[in-house]
Amino acid sequence: MDLLSRFLSLIPVTGRLELRCHFGAPWKISQGVAGAREIPYHLLMSGHAVLEDGNGPPEQLVAGDIILFPAGSAHLIHDGSGEPAKPEFTSNNASLVVVENDGIGETADFLCGRFLLGAVPDRLLRDHLPGRMVVRSALTDQAIGAGEPERSISHTRLMRLIGLMKEEALDPGLGSEMLVSHFSAALFTLTLRFATEAAQQPVGLMALARRPRLQPAVSAMFETPGEPWTLDELSSLCNMSKATFVRQFQQAIGRSASDLLTEVRMTIAGRMLLQTANPVAAIAESVGYQSDAAFQRVFKRHIGITPARWRSSGGNLQA
C-alpha cells in the first residue's frame, strides 16, 4: 500500500459539498474556526480572489484553485477591491445552497464544503499538513514556466473530478447528493496526491513520498506498529547509517522517526478504543507497549485525555 493510502486508511475522510457562491464584486466569504473533525475547502471555478488568514500573507487565487484549511482556521476570501461586500441572498438547488449577491463587478464562482474526519485521533493528519493549502489545478503558462509538468495523470484526473463535481452541483439529477459527497471525498485524496507531485516541495508526511529510500521504515511503522522498533532497526531497513537516517527523516518532515511511530501507534490505538471492546492493556500491547502505565502516559500526552475517557466520550476531546 502506498503512503497516502496508508495515511488515509488510519484517518478516514469523507466529504460534503454545501454551498455554491456566485458573486459579482464587491463580495467576500468570511468563515470562522471550523468545528472539530472538519477541514473547510473552497474550489474557485471561475474568476479571481484574494485569500487572507493567519497562516501567511494574502494570496491571489485564480480559477481552478482548491483551498483547504487542515488546521480549521478562520479565513477571509474576497474580490480584492477593498469595497464593502454587497448583501447576500440564498436559494436552494436540490441539496445545494446557492449564495448570490447583486454586485455588478467581475464575477467569481465557488463550490464550498467540508472534509469530515472520522472519529479517530487526527494529529497524524493535522500536524503533517500546513495550516492552509492552495493547490493550483489549472496549468497556466506561468506555472509551466516555473517547472510544473505540462500535464500529469494526477492533474488530468483532478480536472475530470472537478468537472464532474461542477456538473452534478450545477445540474443535479437523481442521486446527485450521494455522488457529490463521494466526489468531494475523492477530491481530498486527489488534492493531496497532486500537491505531493507538484514542483513546490510538499511538507509534512506527504514529503516522505519523495523519499523512496525511507519507505521501508515508514512501511514497517504502519504495518507492524507493535514491534519494538529502534532507530538502528529502522535505519537498517533503509540500508542507511543511523545518523543518515535520522538526518533524512528530520529534513523530510521536521520531526524524528520515533515521533512519527508514536503518532501512528496512538492513531491506531485511538481507533481500536472506539471500534473494539478490547481491554486497554491489550490495545497497548498491540501497538508496542508492554507497560500499560507507559501507554496511558503517552496516550494522554499525545491525545489530551486518558484512553478510558477517549473511549467513553466516543473520541470527543471536549467530553
**pLDDT tier for residue 146 given thresholds of 50, 70 and 90:** very low
pLDDT, tens digit, 9 for 90 and up, residues 197-249: 766 666 677 788 888 899 999 999 999 999 999 999 999 999 999 999 999 99
In this predicted structure, what is the pLDDT of residue 298?
96
Instruction: Report the top-level CATH class of 11-200.
Output: mainly beta
pLDDT of 141 > 60? The answer is no
In this predicted structure, what is the pLDDT of residue 145?
46
Whole-prediction pTM: 0.84
- In the chain, ranges of CATH 1.10.10.60 domains: 211-313
Topology, domain 211-313: Arc Repressor Mutant, subunit A (1.10.10)
Is 43 in contact with 213 (CB distance < 8 Å)?
no
Query: Pairing mode, if any, of strands 96-101 and 13-24?
Result: parallel
CB neighbourhood size of 121 (10 A): 26
Residues sharing a CB contact under 8 Å with residue 175, sequence separation 6 or more, in sequence order = none
State the Cα–Cα distance between residues 34 and 207, nearest whole angstrom: 26
Q: Choose the most confident range, by mean pLDDT, from 34-38, 53-57, 72-76, 120-124.
A: 72-76
- In the chain, ranges of CATH 2.60.120.280 domains: 11-200
pLDDT, tens digit, 9 for 90 and up, residues 253-281: 888 999 999 999 999 999 999 999 999 99
Report the percent of the chain where pLDDT is more than 70. Answer: 92
State the Cα–Cα distance between residues 35 and 130, nearest whole angstrom: 18
Is 169 in contact with 17 (CB distance < 8 Å)?
yes
Report the percent of the chain where pLDDT is more than 90. Answer: 54
In this predicted structure, what is the pLDDT of residue 166?
81
CB neighbourhood size of 1 (10 A): 11
**pLDDT tier for residue 144 given thresholds of 50, 70 and 90:** very low
Mean pLDDT of 24-53: 94
In this predicted structure, what is the pLDDT of residue 94?
65
In this predicted structure, what is the pLDDT of residue 272?
95
pLDDT of 162 > 90? The answer is no
